[in-house]
Amino acid sequence: MNKKFFAAVFSALVIVSSYVFAQADTETITIKTSSKCEMCKKRIEKGMSLKKGVKSAILNLDNHTLTVVYKKDKTNPEALRKALSNIGYDADDVAANEKAYKKLPDCCKKGGHDHSNHKH
Ligand SMILES: [Cu+2]
């Protein structure tokens, strides 16, 4: 029997299975947000990407939907929505954290772009 051959097959199996398990560890969710503008996008993407277990966070400003890729064993959708709320935005049915929301620039608040008395 060729031991080298078995060793090669075995290590190939280990590599393939660890890759498959690593893939199975991640999950993707989309969260509806109350984001308004490019500044919101930067704030949300930066803030969310720093959260534990988050691999990537991308906000689509056209439909205000945040797509998060996260590690299943490190975080969960509930924690991610809470995190977004703590940045100051609504996350699906989780309302924005009031304190964080108040700290947002006016243009990022709900209806922020509707103010007629906007000062420049
Ligand atoms: Cu904004």
Q: Is residue 118 part of a domain?
A: no
Q: What is the DSSP string of 38-94?
A: HHHHHHHHHHHHTSTTEEEEEEETTTTEEEEEEETTT--HHHHHHHHHHHT--BTTB
For residue 74, the model assigns a pLDDT of 96
Contacts of 50 (CB under 8 A, 6+ apart): none
For residue 2, the model assigns a pLDDT of 82
pLDDT digits (tens, 9 = 90+) for 61-119: 999 999 999 999 999 999 999 999 999 999 999 999 999 999 999 999 987 555 444 44
CATH code: domain of residue 80: 3.30.70.100
Q: Is residue 66 part of a domain?
A: yes
For residue 119, the model assigns a pLDDT of 41
The token pair that represents 113 in the structure block: 């772009």
Can you give the pTM of this predicted structure? 0.76
Which residue did the predictor score with more confidence, 19 or 45? Answer: 45
| 107 Cα–ligand 1 center, Å | 6
| Ion ligand 1 neighbours, Cβ < 5 Å | 36-37, 39-40, 108
Average confidence (pLDDT) over 36-54: 97
| 46 Cα–ligand 1 center, Å | 13
| 63 Cα–ligand 1 center, Å | 14
- How many folded domains does the chain comprise? 1
| 70 Cα–ligand 1 center, Å | 24
Q: Is residue 12 part of a domain?
A: no
Q: Is residue 15 part of a domain?
A: no
